Amino acid sequence: MENKIEAERIERLIKIGSIFESIGVTSVELAENIKEHIESCPGGKACLEKLISKQNIENC
């Protein structure tokens, strides 16, 4: 069971990585910079949370 959960996690992370790569995020450093910007930018985290929340509502 634990191997199945780990395999699903790995598959999910690969898909997320592919999406980021498709928009030009091609390095871990760039991904970290984006994360830091979102966390430190006034309104950045709230904007991302709003986007995620909107997506979750639309998928219901």
Residue 14 confidence (pLDDT) above 90 = yes
pLDDT at 53: 86
State the Cα–Cα distance between residues 16 and 25, nearest whole angstrom.
11
pTM of the entire structure? Answer: 0.66
- pLDDT tier for residue 12 given thresholds of 50, 70 and 90: very high
The model's pLDDT over 16-59, given as tens digits with 9 standing for 90+, comes to 999 999 999 999 999 999 999 888 988 888 888 888 887 665 55
Q: How far apart are CA 53 and CA 17, in angstroms?
A: 21
Distance of alpha carbon 42 from alpha carbon 49, whole angstroms: 13
pLDDT tens, position by position, 38-49: 889 888 888 888
